[in-house]
Structure 1
């Protein structure tokens, strides 16, 4: 279940004492911007919050890009044939510098299916495949993407959802309060802003730590 955008607004207004009349101190347009910014920041700090698994059509060559709305590659899982529906050989991560050292001509090596992929965290929307891809072949990837951007009307209608699990309503609320209280105005408060920014970061850091602790991979041999 996603987060109702207006539920975030109600929580923010309760803390900010800005509900009667509504939006008197912080306009709806500002709250909307901060909700959209906060949702994107949640995914940056916790990619699993908006993880997508999908088939990607490869272009010819070794360098590939994730979809335009993607933020960061998480995994390249397996070959999926030319139709994107035919599971094939799994794809394993490999160190690009090892390929450079041992197979200097790997960018021109041809092959029927993808065997390996390489990734550089400095460019998280791009990866390389080995051997070089045949245009039109597809692989299954997992990547994070930004939630759709909402308009003020959608935030205020009481029905539109932010495309994040409801478990993230607390951190998102703290993010919006941080932005509101950081505003240079008579209602701003640096101490409260800092408190909520800390709450935002700590909530997501704790979620990441818990996920790692209970991951099924912890028991893998």
Structure 2
């Protein structure tokens, strides 16, 4: 459970940019930057927002489609009530079991195949069979993107909103650095602000443990 309030994050950003009244950077604009930060964090760190759930397999098909709210698969854990399911490289399976897509259906899945280039699809070997009258079930973990946070301007100004950030509290500093990078990018005509924007974006990348392109900061249209 997270405890960091969204309005606290926005207020902290306002203090750092010395705009506590929202004259240069309006509160709702900073809230947009907050929501963009969450999306970007989940893009670079899918483990920041995951769902562990029971998944109903598509019977007699090696190909499985993730739920509609999924961004990508993180891991397939086990057959419900049965053995673990391990990851296997597609080329290995192709070489050793060239007909694996036509394997005999079973309720004891052994392996899964996943390719990040096709993030919402994964494959099971052997093919799943019905478990009695129901679909065979497995336990999976997948990444999802939280819905945008919506807070009215007055609640941000007076700090009355009790909405917390939708990912773990440990990401709060990364969120702040992303928002500061975005805020300072509003005035790249200033060399000082351009440097501040680049510095906070680098700090953001360091916090996530990812390498970011120096020119990859997503600028707002018309900023």
| Alignment correspondent of 1:51 | 50
Task: Give the unaligned 5+ runs of structure 1.
Answer: 81-86, 207-221
Q: Tell me by how many angstroms 1:8 deviates.
A: 0.9
Residue of structure 2 in register with 1:123 after alignment: 118
Give the structure with the higher percent strand.
1
Q: 3-state DSSP class of the match of 2:208?
A: helix
Q: Following the alignment from structure 1 to structure 2, what is the Cα–Cα distance between the partners of residues 109 and 48?
A: 32
The two structures have a TM-score, normalised by structure 1, of 0.81
Q: Does residue 13 of structure 1 match 2:11?
A: no
Cα shift at 1:110: 2.2
Q: Of the candidates 188, 198, 206, which is equivalent to residue 202 of structure 1? A: 206
Inter-partner Cα distance in structure 1 for 2:69 and 2:31 = 20
1:142 aligns with 2:141: yes
User: What are the within-5 Å matches in structure 2 for residues 68-79 of structure 1?
Assistant: 68-79=68-79
> Is this contact kept in 1: 2:5–2:163, CA < 8 A?
yes
Counterpart Cα distance in 1 of 2:102 and 2:187:
56
Aligned to 1:217: none
In 1: Cα distance, 2:44 partner to 2:28 partner = 24
For residue 177 of structure 1, what is the aligned residue in structure 2? 180
Distance apart, 1:186 and its partner CA:
7.4
| Shift in Å, 1:46 | 2.4
Specify the SS of the correspondent of 1:110.
coil
Deviations 1:55-78 (A, max 9, x none): 111123111122222222111010
Specify every segment of 5 or more residues in structure 2 that has no aligned partner in the other structure, as ranges.
Answer: 211-223
Structure 1 SS opposite 2:62: strand
Contact 2:188 2:194 in 1 (8 A): no
Q: How many residues align?
A: 198
Give 3-state SS (helix, strand or coil) of 1:183's partner.
helix
- Relative to the length of structure 2, the TM-score reads 0.80
Measured after TM superposition, the shift of residue 199 of structure 1 is: 0.7
